[in-house]
């Protein structure tokens, strides 16, 4: 499996950040020069709804995954009649939030999320990933991500509103997105891949959304890794494509999580909302996202930001 090019050992035997090491101060300063208008756009899906509400089912997600739950509760009380009183005339509402990020909301995968054999990224022992958290390569090791985002708007390049469920994005597709833009992918860039698939949830319904998903092909993943991107972010649920059972069809050699997370230490951000960004027509922009400091976490919800 590691006969292919990889980043193990590139930043030292103890490295747990992978390609995020490419986001040097110089790379961040260069990314800031992409800002032309100063407009700030959120690239996140909402976390919506309550345990007793159907609202969570109105947001795209993978079928069968535990949905985010947001509710307000203190001592089992309900706030239908107003928030509890604290002191004289003061009312307070407290939140409770339960989120399992993978497949249910906009999130960032940690390098400990997927592996094969006895080692996670960089040769760290897989037996350090336990029920109480990962001892190595947890999401808390990533830190804030700030760099130049480069949008690969594949549907726009093909003049369609969104890709089809069985479409797999090739290196030629990625190159076509950059053609004529004057943008060259640089080391440390965040590759942001638009498939348009979240629109299907809203226009055709959940069953159509769950019929499969378009995504990167294995060769496209290798193409991005060879260009030293620091992160790959997409509006689909798995970076690669999914079949109607919401599983990847590739074997381990061609699995996108194995290529990017495991071999190259490239963090992944999934389930972004990219429609507003696409409407700006901007090919590059300042990208920022910060995972929560969940010690040993395999992922974290994020609210990615684009500054155009």
Residue 85 shares a structural domain with residue 156: no
Q: What is the mean pLDDT of residues 138-156?
A: 98
Residue 149 lies in a domain: yes
Radius of gyration of the chain, Cα coordinates, nearest whole angstrom: 20
* Residue 145 sits in the same domain as residue 74: no
- Pair 33, 74 in one domain: no
Whether 214 and 93 map to the same domain: the answer is no
- Please enumerate in sequence order all residues whose Cβ is within 8 A of that of 159, keeping only pairs 6 or more positions apart, or say none: none
pLDDT tens readout for residues 63-115: 988 888 887 765 445 555 555 555 666 667 778 888 999 999 999 999 999 99
* Within-domain flag for 1: no
Structural contact between residues 156 and 49, judged by C-beta atoms closer than 8 angstroms? no
**DSSP conformation letters of 146-163:** EEEEEEEEHHHHHTSSS-
Q: What are phi and psi of 225, to 5 degrees?
A: -65, -40
Q: 14-39: per-residue pLDDT in tens?
A: 999 999 999 999 999 999 999 999 99
What sections of the chain are H helices per DSSP?
A: 25-32, 154-158, 171-178, 198-203, 206-209, 218-226, 256-257, 275-280
Place of tokens 């992978």: 18
Question: Mean of the pLDDT values across residues 116-130?
Answer: 95
Residue 296's φ and ψ, nearest 5 degrees, are: 75, 15
The confidence score (pLDDT) of residue 88 equals: 62
| 216 and 239 together in one domain | yes
Judgement on whether residues 88 and 214 belong to the same structural domain of the protein: no
Residue 133 confidence (pLDDT) above 70: yes
Domain containing residue 140: 18-47+101-307
In a domain, 4, yes or no: no
Pairwise CA distance, residues 177 & 240, whole Å: 18
Comparing CA positions, the residue from 91, 71, 72, 73 lying closest to residue 83 is: 91
Q: Are residues 75 and 107 in the same domain?
A: no
Lowest mean pLDDT among 3-12, 47-56, 183-192, 213-222: 47-56
- What is the three-class DSSP state of 132? coil
- Whether 114 and 247 share a structural domain: yes
- The angle subtended at Cα 142 by Cα 140 and Cα 147, nearest 5°, is 145
Please provide the average confidence, as pLDDT, over all residues in the chain.
93
Write down the pTM of the prediction.
Answer: 0.94
- Do 60 and 144 lie in a common domain? no
Q: What is the Cβ-side half-sphere exposure of residue 98, based on CA atoms within 13 angstroms?
A: 10
Question: Considering the domain boundaries, does residue 6 fall inside one?
Answer: no
Tens digits of residue pLDDT in 169-208: 999 999 999 999 999 999 999 999 999 999 999 999 999 9
Domain co-membership, 30 together with 85 = no
Residue 282 in tokens? 């901007």
Q: How many residues does the chain have?
A: 308
> At 54, is the pLDDT very low, low, confident or very high (cuts 50, 70, 90)?
confident
Rounded distance between C-alpha atoms, residue 291 and residue 112, angstroms: 14
pLDDT score for 32? 98
- Alpha carbons 120 and 133: distance in angstroms, whole number: 14
Judgement on whether residues 183 and 71 belong to the same structural domain of the protein:
no
Number of domains in the chain: 2
In a domain, 13, yes or no: no
Look at residue 242 and tell me if it is in a domain: yes
The CATH code of the domain that includes 37 is 3.50.30.50
Binned at pLDDT 50, 70 and 90, residue 242 comes out as very high
């Amino acid at each position: 499996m590691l006969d292919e090019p990889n980043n193990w050992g590139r930043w030292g035997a103890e490295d747990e950040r992978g390609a995020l090491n490419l986001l040097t101060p110089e790379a961040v300063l260069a990314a800031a020069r992409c800002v032309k208008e100063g407009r700030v756009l959120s690239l996140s899906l909402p976390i919506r709804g309550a345990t007793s509400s159907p609202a969570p089912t109105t947001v795209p997600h993978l079928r069968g995954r535990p949905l985010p739950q947001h509710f307000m509760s203190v001592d089992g009380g309900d706030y239908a009649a107003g928030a509890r009183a604290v002191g004289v005339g003061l009312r307070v509402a407290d939140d409770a939030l339960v989120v399992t990020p993978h497949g249910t909301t906009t999130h960032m995968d940690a390098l400990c999320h997927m592996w094969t054999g006895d080692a996670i990224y960089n040769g760290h022992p897989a037996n350090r990933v336990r029920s109480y958290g990962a001892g190595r390569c947890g999401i808390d090791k990533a830190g804030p991500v700030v760099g130049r985002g480069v949008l690969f708007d594949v549907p726009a390049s093909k003049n369609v509103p969104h890709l089809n469920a069985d479409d797999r994005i090739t290196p030629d597709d990625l190159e076509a997105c950059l053609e004529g833009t004057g943008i060259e992918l640089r080391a440390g860039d965040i590759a942001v891949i638009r498939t348009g698939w979240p629109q299907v949830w809203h226009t055709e319904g959940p069953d159509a959304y769950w019929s499969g998903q378009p995504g990167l092909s294995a060769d496209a993943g290798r193409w991005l890794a060879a260009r030293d991107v620091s992160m790959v972010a997409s509006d689909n649920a798995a970076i690669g494509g999914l079949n109607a059972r919401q599983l990847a069809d590739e074997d381990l050699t061609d699995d996108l999580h194995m290529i990017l997370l495991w071999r190259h230490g490239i963090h992944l951000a999934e389930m972004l909302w990219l429609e507003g960004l696409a409407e700006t027509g901007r090919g590059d922009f300042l990208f920022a996202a910060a995972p929560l400091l969940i010690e040993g976490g395999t992922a974290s919800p994020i609210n990615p930001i684009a500054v155009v």
